[in-house]
Structure 1
Amino acid sequence: MRRNNTTGGMKFFLSFFLLASIALLLPGSGWSQDIRVSASVNNTEITLEDVLDVKVVMEGTQDAPQPDPPALPAFSVRPGGRATSLQIINGKRTASTTFHFQLIPKQPGDFTIGPFKFEIGGNPYITAPIAITVRKGPAPGRKDRLVFAEITVPTHQPYANELLPVTLKMYRKVTVRNVNIDLPLDDFRKVELGSPKQYNRVLDGIRYDVYEWNTGIYPLKAGRTTIPSALIELDIVEQTPSGRRRSGDPFFDDPFFQSPFFHNQFKLKHKILRTDPIELEVLPLPEKNRPEPISNMVGQFQMNTQFSRTQLAQGETMTLTVTVTGEGNPQDALLELPETGGDFKVYADQPEFTRTGGDKTVTGKKVFKYALVPLKAGPLTFPAITLNYFEPGSMRIKRSKPNRKR
C-alpha cells in the first residue's frame, strides 16, 4: 500500500519558502554595505518665479536620518517628504532613501546649495555642493507673460494712523490651480477690505481674467517704511502634446473640446509671482496748534449725543449715549469726558464698535454709554464733549462738537 506524502511535501515546500523569504530580507553577501550620498536639483538656472526642487539620496540603507538642510538665507526651505526603496536584481539587494526639499528663492544671484550632512553609526556623510544661478525673471513687458501680479496703493505719503488701501491683482490668460497668497504686513496694523473680486480686463489688446484682493493697513509711526513684496504661489495647467490630437470630426476638433477638461492629459507647472516692494514715507500728524485732548484719529468723523431723559429726581440715573461715526479709523475713537463741576457722578460702560462696510475704506460707528447720577437739585448743564481728528483731504485738524443737552 502506497503512503500519501502530499501533506509532508507541502510542509517541506512551505518551510523552504519561508526560509528563502527570510534569507532575502536578512543582510547577506549580496547586501550592499557601501553607503553613498548625493544631491541633485531640477535646474541649475532658475528665476525668482521658479521653485528649486532638491533631491538628496542616500544609497545603501532604508534607515537614513533626516538630513539637516544647510544655511540658505537666500531661500525659503520647505521639506518635501521622504521615500524609501528596495531593489533586488540578480540576487543583489540595494536599498535607498530619498529626501525632497523645495527651495523658494528670495533674491537673484549666484548661490551654492549644500552640502547636506548625514550621520549614521557615528560616521559622517556629506553631499557635494551644487552651484545655481537665480535670475530676476521675465522682463517688465506683459504681452508674453501667461500670468503676472501687481500691487498698488493710492499714495506713497500717507499720514501716521491713516488707512492706506493696498490692492493686489493677479492677471492670467491661462488656467491656474492651487493659488496661495502671502502678503507679509507684520509691521503694519491691517484690516480686510471687502471680499476678493474676479472680473475681466483688456491690457495691450489682450484679455485677462483678473483676481483682486484688498487689504487696509495703518502705518503706526512717521518715517520711511516698506510694503514687502507679495508672493503668489500657483500651478499653471499646461496641456501636453498628446492632449492636442485631432479626432477627425470637425465638431470635436473645436478648441472647446481640446481643453484639459476633456482629455485629462495635462501637467502642472509650479510658479511663484512676486510684486515689487513699495516704499512709503509716512508723514507725522501736525503738532502746531494741536488742540486738547490729543487724538490719533485720521479720516472724516461725526459725533452725536443723546440723553435718555432730561428731567429726573436727585439720586435717579440717566444714560448719556455718544456715537462716533465716520471712515478711516473709527475703531480707535477715544473720549475723555470733561469735568462736570461736581454736578454728576459718571459711570462708563465698555464702548462697542460696529463696522458698517467699505471695499476701499473702513466705515463704522463706535458707541459710548455713560450712566449719569445728578448730585444736586436744580437746572444742571452737562459740559460739551469734543472730538479732535485729522482730515487728510484738507490737511487740517478738525473738531467735532455736538449740541449740549440738559
Structure 2
Amino acid sequence: MNSRVQQGLLWVLALMAPVSGAQQGVSVDVSLSRPLVKLGDELHLRIHVDGTRDARVVQPPSVEGLIFGSLAGPQISQMQEFQGGRVTSRISVEWAMSIRPTRVGEFEIPPISLEVDGKTVRAPAQAMSLRVIQDLEGATHCFIESMDVPTRVFEGEPFDLDLRFGTDLAAGEVDLYLPWWPSHRGVLEVKTGNPRGTYRFPVNDRHEASVTELDPAQRNGVPFRVFQLARRYLATRPGTLEFNAATFQFSEVIRRSTVFATGRYKRYHAQSEPFQIEVLPVPEEGRPLDWTGAVGELTTQRRVDRRDVDEGGTISLTVSWFGRGNTEFFAAPDLKRLSGFEDFRVLGVEDSHFSDERRVTYDLVPTSSKITEIPPVPMWVFSPVSETFVRVATDPVAVRVRSVGDPEGGMPLAGDELDLFDVHPDPISETGLAPLGAGRLGGAAVSILGLWFLGRTLIRRHQGDPNAPRARRRRAALRRLRTALKVSDSASEQSLALARFMGDRMGEPAGAWLGRDVVEWSESMGAPLEESLLRDWSAICADLDASAWSDADQPIDGSRMVNLAQALCAKGL
C-alpha cells in the first residue's frame, strides 16, 4: 500500500473518530501588560476567555487618574488537533484595552465583569495593582505648560487655551495626549482660523491638531524648540470645567527602521498641571429685556452702499460687531421692532460670521421722502470685564430720499406739454390724432416698466421676495444640512449643523436652536407637530447631547437628521 493511500486512510479515520467539544472547563484570565510604568507611557489590559465563544464584557473598568481606551475585540481563535484517535477543538475569545495614566501614584483596577455561557464572572479574583512613576529624565529634555489660563469666565464668554511644549532633542516623533480633546463637556470650540506655517501633530493617537512653532527659548541655559497649541472655547453652561493634565511625548530616534531591522526609539515624557475654570451665569440683575445673548467686549460699525436714493429704492445697511465675544451665537437686532425704523421696510436680512466678526446686511426701503437719516442700530452686550450690560450702537447715517416728481431727481414737471402725468379732460377727435413718435413710444415703455415694478412690489409685499437672502437660505437649508453632515466627524458638529438648518428654515440664528426644547416650541406655535415626529426629533437631540457631552463625542447616524429635516420640510416648516 503506497503512502498516499495510507495518508488518506488516516484522514478517514480522523473524521470517523469521536470529536471532543470545547476543552474541559472554561478559564478567564485578565492581566496588565506592565505593573510599573512611567507617567506618559501606555499599557494594555488584556481579557482572555478560553473554552467557549459565548462571552462578552459587561462593564469596562473606570478608575480616576487612568484613561481607558475603547475596547478592541472580540478576537476569536479556534484550533483543532488530532491526538490519540480523537479530534480536540480549542476555542478562545480575547479583548484588549489601552490605559494611559494622567498622574503619578498607586492605582487599583477592580475586577472586570464578564458574561460567560450565560453566567456572570468577575476576574481576576483580586484588584490589579498599577504603579505610575515620574519620568525624571523626560522632564529634563521636554516640557509642556498652560499659559495664562483664566480662573473664571461667564456663560457665553470665549476664553483661550494656550499650551506651550518643546524639547532640546534634535530628531524624533511628537505625540500629544490631551484628556479633554477634541471635545469637552460644557464648552464649544470657536473657530479662529489657523495661522500660516503650522504643523500637524497627532493627538490621542486618533486625531490631529494644528500647532505653530515659536521662536526658540532658553531653559536652564539649554536652547529648546518651542511649539504652541492655541484654541478658543466658549463656555455654554454654569459650573466648573475640569481640565486634566496634558502629556507631551517625544520619541528620540536611536535607529531608524530599515528593510532588515526595526527602528529603535527612546521615549521622554512631560506633563502639565491640571486646572479648573469656574463658569458663572450671566446675572439676572440689571439685564435688559431686549438683551439678545451677546457676551464679550464688542464694538460695532456700519456702512451703506448709497446715501442718495429715490423713494421706494433700496439701501443696503451692513452692521458689523467684532471683538472678543460670542459673535456667532447671539441674535442680531430685528430692525422691524426698533424705534426709528417705522418709515423703512426690511426686504431681507443676510447674516454671516467671520472669525471674530458678525456681519448682518439689512436691505432697507425708505417709504417717505421726509427721511433724512438711518437711525442707530443698538444692541445690549454683557461685558465680563465690567460685569455690566453695555449698550453699543452704530452712528446714524445721513441720507437723502427723493420723492417722485422732485425736480432735483430728474423727473419732468407737469406743464403745457403732454406727458405721462397729464390727464386731458377734452377728447381728441379722430382727425386730430398725431402719429406716434419716438417720445410717445418711450413713454409707453416707461409706463409698462412702472406697472411691472408696481405689480412685482405688491407680490413681494404679500408673498415675500423669493430672491431675498432669507428665502434663498430657506430653500437651500436641506442641501446645506446634507453637505454639513457629510463632513461632520463629531456629534457637536452635527448638533450645530442641525441648529443651522432650523435657523435657516425659521429665519433665526443657529444659536437660538442650541438646547431648545422642541416639544415646548411646537406647542407654542399654535399648530403642534405630530407626536411621532416630535418623539423622533427629541430622541435625535437627546442622542446628540449624550454623545457631544461624552469624552468620545462620536457622530450619530446622519440619515436620521436628514429624514427628520425632510419630514419637517414636508410639513411646511
TM over 0.5, yes or no?
yes
Deviations 1:37-86 (A, max 9, x none): 2222223344653434222333345x353333455354535323335263
Asked whether the equivalents of residues 295 and 384 of structure 2 are also in contact (C-alpha less than 8 Å), the reply is: no
* Counterpart code for 1:18: W
Provide the aligned C-alpha RMSD in A: 4.3
The verdict on how the C-alpha distance between 1:124 and 1:389 changes in structure 2, with shifts beyond 3 A counting, is: closer
The answer to whether structure 1 residue 55 and structure 2 residue 46 are counterparts is yes
Partner of 2:70: 78
**1:228 CA displacement:** 1.6
Q: Give distance in 2, aligned partners of 1:28 and 1:143.
A: 55
Instruction: Identify, as 1 or 2, the structure richer in helix.
Output: 2
The answer to whether structure 1 residue 226 and structure 2 residue 241 are counterparts is yes
Partner of 2:276: 279
The answer to whether structure 1 residue 352 and structure 2 residue 352 are counterparts is yes
Q: Give distance in 1, aligned partners of 2:357 and 2:382.
A: 17
**1:366 CA displacement:** 0.9
The answer to whether structure 1 residue 298 and structure 2 residue 293 are counterparts is no
Q: Give distance in 1, aligned partners of 2:63 and 2:385.
A: 43
Q: Give distance in 1, aligned partners of 2:131 and 2:100.
A: 13
Q: Give distance in 1, aligned partners of 2:265 and 2:115.
A: 32
Q: Give distance in 1, aligned partners of 2:116 and 2:310.
A: 85
Partner of 1:189: 188
Deviations 1:134-181 (A, max 9, x none): 556428x78645545333335334454333111123334473366564
Q: Give distance in 2, aligned partners of 1:123 and 1:288.
A: 59
Return the structure number with greater relative CO, CA threshold 8 A, min gap 6: 1
Q: Give distance in 1, aligned partners of 2:271 and 2:218.
A: 21
Asked whether the equivalents of residues 166 and 226 of structure 2 are also in contact (C-alpha less than 8 Å), the reply is: yes
**Structure 1 segments unaligned to the other structure (5+ residues):** 1-7, 240-258, 356-362
**1:342 CA displacement:** 4.0
Asked whether the equivalents of residues 237 and 269 of structure 1 are also in contact (C-alpha less than 8 Å), the reply is: yes
The verdict on how the C-alpha distance between 1:18 and 1:73 changes in structure 2, with shifts beyond 3 A counting, is: same
The verdict on how the C-alpha distance between 1:238 and 1:128 changes in structure 2, with shifts beyond 3 A counting, is: farther
Instruction: Identify, as 1 or 2, the structure richer in strand.
Output: 1
Q: Give distance in 2, aligned partners of 1:269 and 1:319.
A: 67
**1:187 CA displacement:** 0.6
* Counterpart code for 2:333: L
The verdict on how the C-alpha distance between 1:70 and 1:292 changes in structure 2, with shifts beyond 3 A counting, is: closer
The answer to whether structure 1 residue 111 and structure 2 residue 108 are counterparts is yes
The answer to whether structure 1 residue 402 and structure 2 residue 395 are counterparts is yes
Q: Give distance in 1, aligned partners of 2:285 and 2:122.
A: 65
Q: Give distance in 2, aligned partners of 1:87 and 1:237.
A: 45
Q: Give distance in 2, aligned partners of 1:270 and 1:114.
A: 31
Q: Give distance in 1, aligned partners of 2:391 and 2:120.
A: 71
Question: Secondary structure of the residue that 1:12 maps to in structure 2?
Answer: helix
The verdict on how the C-alpha distance between 1:349 and 1:71 changes in structure 2, with shifts beyond 3 A counting, is: same
Deviations 1:87-126 (A, max 9, x none): 8597695735233232345675542431443423x56655
The verdict on how the C-alpha distance between 1:267 and 1:96 changes in structure 2, with shifts beyond 3 A counting, is: farther
* Counterpart code for 1:196: V
**Structure 2 segments unaligned to the other structure (5+ residues):** 195-209, 400-573
Asked whether the equivalents of residues 341 and 375 of structure 2 are also in contact (C-alpha less than 8 Å), the reply is: no
> How do 1:184-263 residues align onto structure 2 when only pairs under 5 Å count?
184-193=183-192, 194=194, 195-199=210-214, 200-220=216-236, 225-229=240-244, 231=246, 236=251, 239=254, 259-261=255-257
Partner of 2:29: 38
Asked whether the equivalents of residues 305 and 402 of structure 1 are also in contact (C-alpha less than 8 Å), the reply is: no
The verdict on how the C-alpha distance between 1:136 and 1:71 changes in structure 2, with shifts beyond 3 A counting, is: closer
Which of 145, 150, 158 is 1:150 aligned to? 145
**Alignment coverage as a number of residue pairs:** 364
Q: TM-score, normalised by structure 2?
A: 0.52
Q: Taking every aligned residue pair, what percent have the same amino acid on both sides?
A: 13
**1:216 CA displacement:** 0.5
Asked whether the equivalents of residues 111 and 132 of structure 1 are also in contact (C-alpha less than 8 Å), the reply is: yes
Deviations 1:354-393 (A, max 9, x none): 33xxxxxxx334132233240x444554333234446667
Deviations 1:173-222 (A, max 9, x none): 4733665644242312321442421354432234444442211122346x
The verdict on how the C-alpha distance between 1:45 and 1:19 changes in structure 2, with shifts beyond 3 A counting, is: same
> How do 1:118-133 residues align onto structure 2 when only pairs under 5 Å count?
118-120=115-117, 126-133=122-129
The verdict on how the C-alpha distance between 1:16 and 1:202 changes in structure 2, with shifts beyond 3 A counting, is: farther
Partner of 2:97: 101
Which of 328, 333, 336 is 1:331 aligned to? 328
Partner of 1:253: none
* Counterpart code for 1:40: S
Q: Give distance in 2, aligned partners of 1:235 and 1:22.
A: 57
